[in-house]
Structure 1
Amino acid sequence: MQIQDLPYSDPGVPDARSGPRLLWWLWRNQAGGQLKALVWGLLHFVSVAALPFCVGLAVQAVVDRSGTRLALTGGLMLLCGTGVAVGDTFLHRSAVTNWITAAARVQQLLARKAVHLGSALTRRVAAGEVVAVSTGDVEKIGWFVEALSRFGAAALTAVAVCAGLVVYQPALGVLVAVGLPVVALAALPLLPRATRRADVQREKAGRATELASDTVAGLRVLRGIGGEELFLDRYRRASQEVRHAAVRSARMWSLIAVLQVLLPGLLLITVVWHGIGLARQGRITVGELVTVYSAVMILHYPLQHFQEIAMAYSFSRPSAKRAARVLSLERPTATGGSRPAEAPGGDLYDPGTGLLAPAGLLTAVVCGDPDAAGRLAERLGGHPAEPGGSVLLGGVPLDELPLDSARTAVLVQDKDPVLLSGTLRELLDVPASGAVRPADALAAAQCQHVLDALVQGSVDAADPMDARVTERGRSLSGGQRQRLALARSLIADPEVLVLDEPASAVDSHTETRIADGLRRLRSGRTTVVFTSSPLLLDRADRVALVHEGEVLATGVHRELLACEPRYRAVVTREPEETEAAGADVGLPGQDALVGASTEPREIEESA
């Protein structure tokens, strides 16, 4: 796999049972790239390690006054230099490729898992954790996967140098072969403590980042209540905790780095001291002493990779653990479906509540509990079966359809829809049937004032479609976000559109026009609207009252308002006892209730 070939056509099925298993799985799936890096690493490290032997041979040739051996040694040094340059160049190329492709594979797996789980993901894992895994953690995972091959090349080179020294000069080679493992493994007892401190630092940094994000997102509210200084103090304290944790972590890693410099230096001093004694006794030549000395100095280079692999594993292990946690999440049921991929049509029926949305009609659902309404709306578009049984579309259970087919057939717009950052044209560029033009959808959702606001707030966009929408639409009001989200849903033109309070943040006049536009644009298509607004209810073909998980009454708005006290209590926001008392004393009848039910909403919005 090369970088230009990304993304993967199929990133594979990861082993997400644990962090180390995920790392091993990633390494195995890049065996070809790892082998290339290992080969180029061996060429580079062996060429570097061979230079001391060349230097020793050259020194001995000068001592012996042998021009021929000096010339051969010069040629050998040129060959080693070429090997160092070529090996280093292609090792770096292979290492970067392995790093980026490993990170990209994890990102693809996370994206596929997010699509697979849908809204269930954020209920089981914090959204911030998913973002952290898909950004910072994937880089640490890629670093460790890439560093393994370089560490392997460095370790094999160190073993080869020790073996060569033992054969070349046993008296000094044995000393190096015994001391080198001690130098390489001396830092291992410190790694657990360094890892724990690094984990604490990352945890505190994550909390500080979360606090900063919350503060920025709620800055308008904080200014309104005078809470800026309070949250600023909290962030200062969190920032100081991060600093202290970073200093404690840096102390451990600096101690490990000191050992990686001090111990090889002590080994070098020991070898030189012992070698000088052997040279005085005539047991070794000057060239052999220079060779062993240079080899020990060169070994410091591959030994650095022992420290790097330790750091890479320490940082990537918690990252891989978090990634494995997300990748191990599963939906309650399989997503392959037992039926062929098709686009079913017909009535939408929920056996759990008894809710029926006839095909081609606008059905309004009134539910006194907003949370219950949100759960029911999600259930109507959800793929997995629940205790009440799967939702049926045209008699076909949604959980028997492939996930893509089920989501294409039923689209659910949440109460708090998310707008992705980018231009308005990109926001509205969604998979659609092509039957609804963006201009018609924007007009039906009453977005003209939103378009004007986007143009006025833009620096260089004369066309509203080129105006940028900020992250999550934070620069827009709640009503503007709702209208843009509704336009996006109308453009998609699904077989069944489920809307949860699509106009709760707009004024009554705008809501009336949205209701008319929705009815006109969705004519002949199945639409379910969860609302308690009389303006929307009065324009629905059918209204269902859901109470405590079951449908209690169905009909049209005015009939239910006159005949069903519980419906009247939800719509008019008055207690049932008050309604009953009003009926006994002859309070205004049905038509007055219809008009009166809209009055509190207008007063609230005008305020």
Structure 2
Amino acid sequence: MPLAHLPLDDPGRPDLSSPLGLLRWLSRAQRRGQVLATCWGVLEMGCQAALPLALGLGIQAAVDEDTAGIWRAGGLAVLLAVLQAIGTVLLHRQAVWNWITCAAQVRQLVARQASRLGAGLSRRIATGEVVAVSSGDVEKIGWYVELMARVRAAVLVWLAVSLVVLVREPLLGTAVLLGVPVLAAAVWPLLGPFERRYSEQRALGGKATELAADTVAGLRVLRGIGGEELFLERYRTASQKVRRAAVRAARTWSLMQAQQVLLPGLFVVGVTWYGAHLAATGALGIGELVAVYGATAFLAAPLRILGEAAHAWSVARVSAGRAARVLALSRTAPGSDFPESIVRPERGDLHDPVTGLTARAGRLTAVVCGDPDVAGALAARLGGHVPLGEDERPQPSVRLGGVPLDGVPLADARAAVLVHDKEPVLLSGTLAELLDVPGAGRVDTAEALAAARAEDVLDALVDGSPECGGDPMAARITERGRSLSGGQRQRLALARSLVADPPVLVMDEPTSAVDAHTESRIAAGLRKVRDGRTTVVFATSPLLLDQADGVVLVQDGRVAATGTHRALIADDARYRAVVTREEDAGPAPAGPAVARPAPDADTPAPNQTVKEAACGSPEA
């Protein structure tokens, strides 16, 4: 059959009711491939089983001195060998196709799920779990789905061989018919211990992968504080746990392998001994004895496939269970799913019924939270994602213009609200590719870069990419932007969000890694570029807060105060405590300005922070 192009146009909607349900759904998704693999397997193994028959006919013809019979037996043997070779090639080709297609389909499902959950994925499930599913687990699942076609072919050929032997010699046929299922079932008592040990190995492997990913991501910080040896020792400990678990699983698997060799061997010896006894008494001819022995010896092949299937089932059920857990996650809390509405969110206020926060349409709203984790969770909620664990109770959906974001298709929710994470990721490629994002076209690249004050970033990219010929848009960005500083990465990510120009932009600390002077200019540029658009900024910097149309203080999960930055810092002690980071903030001095201006615009006054100095005048 012609091979399908990968990735698939649509990986489908899997059955996530159970690991077995997912495996069955994957098998049904490639019915034609499964049928073809079964047919080619029957051809290959059928010819292999029939070859001893041709050999037996030839030997019997030689005993009877029948020259024509010898030629007929030889021709039949050649024909069976050719057909077996053809069946082997076609089976291998189809089996590999089934395996790769199944693995690619699961990978697409996991990638689609990661895209659907976005930043909420890492809050719902460990990163190492996702990596393990998309790497090792998909191969195990593909192996099992591919193997099912060969199992069906083996069963069909075994039944055919048993029927032929049963007709010629009932006792031998009965032994063949009943012996194979008994031998195949003998391995099942070992499957439980093997599955438990393999599950432990996979779980420990996922934790080790997660630890390795965290260590690599924070390597620069670890080197700065001299903690790389500590984390290296932790990874050694984790990897040794994985090794010990793998050894325990391998011991059980080796016992299963030995059983699959010993028991079929004893079975073939017993059948051959009985056949030889019949031949010695004259009840069975020499040629027939050879044919019976060959057919019985062939049964070792179906038994090996059944044993392989038992092993594949053990590991695939564990892997399918892990994959189903990842694929079953929703972007909302369990029990809070809304039936998808045909109503698209329109321009309007963004309201969170949990905290009482309301961001007015077309205005720049700043949100102040004392806890950065609370701010990140609230930002995710405003984007239509609920960053809650599976044991959390469902909460009402955020509404945009009165429409619940959890109740609209994901594409519509993302088109309406864009969440700019605190630590956005820069993908490798050129700067032009980084900024080539879907947008309304209202903000061009140059305007977004200017608003983000990324002039020095462009110079750094040109210096680091001689091949760009002086064009910063052709300069290459390394993986995750590691060649840039934190502030430079932050400004490029901000420019990318501004180019997208969504109707609602939610930003979590977008300037936390830049200096005060740059932050002041970014705040002014942000207000200008987002004029007329709904913008929510989570921040505690006076420079950003002073540019907002309104400020909302969130404490203990609820809105505690609203107003302008200057009014709140003058009248609300709780707000001053968060923004100025004072344990007991007293009344602020009277006047429109919060802090006294420094003698020089670039030099802060004594006992005054740089950002407070920059915020001292309305022009800052």
Indicate whether the TM-score tops 0.5.
Answer: yes
**Pairwise CA distance, 1:119:** 4.0
Which residue of the other structure, out of 530, 535, 539, is the alignment partner of 1:527? 535
How many pairs does the alignment contain? 599
**Pairwise CA distance, 1:351:** 4.8
Q: Say whether 1:600 aligns with 2:602.
A: no
Q: Compare 184-193 and 14-23 and name the one that shifted more.
A: 184-193
| Mapped partners of 2:186, 2:42: distance in 1 | 24
User: Residue 434 of structure 2 aligns with which residue?
Assistant: 427
Q: Compare 31-40 and 415-424 and name the one that shifted more.
A: 415-424
SS across alignment from 1:364 = strand
User: Residue 76 of structure 1 aligns with which residue?
Assistant: 76
Distance 1:478 1:181, change over 3 A: same
Q: Compare 432-441 and 544-553 and name the one that shifted more.
A: 544-553
Counterpart of 2:411, as a letter, is D
User: Residue 444 of structure 2 aligns with which residue?
Assistant: 437
User: Residue 24 of structure 2 aligns with which residue?
Assistant: 24
Q: Is the 8 A contact 1:508 1:602 kept in 2?
A: yes
Q: Is the 8 A contact 2:347 2:503 kept in 1?
A: yes
**Pairwise CA distance, 1:172:** 4.1
Q: Is the 8 A contact 2:380 2:386 kept in 1?
A: no
Q: Say whether 1:504 aligns with 2:512.
A: yes
User: Residue 405 of structure 1 aligns with which residue?
Assistant: 412
Distance 1:379 1:207, change over 3 A: closer
| Mapped partners of 2:181, 2:354: distance in 1 | 67
SS across alignment from 2:442 = coil
Give per-residue Cα distances to partners, 1:312-364, cap 9 Å, x unaligned: 111111111111222223334446543434x6113434455454433333222
Counterpart of 1:363, as a letter, is T
| Mapped partners of 2:500, 2:186: distance in 1 | 62
Unaligned runs of 5+ in 1: none
Distance 1:125 1:487, change over 3 A: same
Q: Say whether 1:557 aligns with 2:565.
A: yes
Which residue of the other structure, out of 574, 589, 595, is the alignment partner of 1:566? 574
Q: Is the 8 A contact 1:197 1:249 kept in 2?
A: yes
Spell out the pairing of 1:178-193 with structure 2 (5 A cutoff). 178-193=178-193
Counterpart of 1:50, as a letter, is A
User: Residue 199 of structure 1 aligns with which residue?
Assistant: 199
User: Residue 168 of structure 2 aligns with which residue?
Assistant: 168
**Pairwise CA distance, 1:438:** 2.3
Q: Is the 8 A contact 1:137 1:316 kept in 2?
A: yes
| Mapped partners of 2:199, 2:509: distance in 1 | 43
Distance 1:107 1:451, change over 3 A: same
Q: Is the 8 A contact 1:3 1:100 kept in 2?
A: no
| Mapped partners of 1:28, 1:387: distance in 2 | 34
| Mapped partners of 1:297, 1:459: distance in 2 | 68
Q: 1 or 2, which has the higher helix percentage?
A: 1
User: Residue 376 of structure 1 aligns with which residue?
Assistant: 378
Distance 1:207 1:51, change over 3 A: same
**Pairwise CA distance, 1:374:** 2.7
Distance 1:70 1:461, change over 3 A: farther
User: Residue 341 of structure 2 aligns with which residue?
Assistant: 338
| Mapped partners of 2:3, 2:34: distance in 1 | 14
SS across alignment from 2:507 = strand
| Mapped partners of 1:521, 1:536: distance in 2 | 14
Q: Is the 8 A contact 1:165 1:292 kept in 2?
A: yes
Distance 1:132 1:360, change over 3 A: same
Distance 1:392 1:317, change over 3 A: closer
Give per-residue Cα distances to partners, 1:511-549, cap 9 Å, x unaligned: 122112212222222222121212122223333334444
User: Residue 618 of structure 2 aligns with which residue?
Assistant: none
Q: Is the 8 A contact 1:349 1:357 kept in 2?
A: yes
Distance 1:228 1:557, change over 3 A: closer
Counterpart of 1:413, as a letter, is H
Counterpart of 1:94, as a letter, is Q
Give per-residue Cα distances to partners, 1:288-311, cap 9 Å, x unaligned: 121122222322222221121111
Distance 1:458 1:262, change over 3 A: farther
**Pairwise CA distance, 1:408:** 0.9
User: Residue 457 of structure 2 aligns with which residue?
Assistant: 450
SS across alignment from 1:136 = helix
**Pairwise CA distance, 1:57:** 0.6
TM-score by length of 1: 0.89
Q: Is the 8 A contact 2:570 2:594 kept in 1?
A: no
Counterpart of 2:514, as a letter, is V
Counterpart of 1:403, as a letter, is L
User: Residue 87 of structure 1 aligns with which residue?
Assistant: 87
User: Residue 62 of structure 1 aligns with which residue?
Assistant: 62
Distance 1:86 1:347, change over 3 A: same
Spell out the pairing of 1:92-107 with structure 2 (5 A cutoff). 92-107=92-107
| Mapped partners of 1:224, 1:562: distance in 2 | 40
| Mapped partners of 2:385, 2:188: distance in 1 | 49
Q: Compare 176-185 and 97-106 and name the one that shifted more.
A: 176-185
Spell out the pairing of 1:42-53 with structure 2 (5 A cutoff). 42-53=42-53
**Pairwise CA distance, 1:492:** 0.7
| Mapped partners of 1:284, 1:81: distance in 2 | 26
TM-score by length of 2: 0.87
Q: Is the 8 A contact 1:335 1:402 kept in 2?
A: no
Q: Is the 8 A contact 1:11 1:109 kept in 2?
A: yes
Which residue of the other structure, out of 367, 372, 378, is the alignment partner of 1:365? 367
Spell out the pairing of 1:187-336 with structure 2 (5 A cutoff). 187-330=187-330, 331-332=332-333, 333-334=336-337
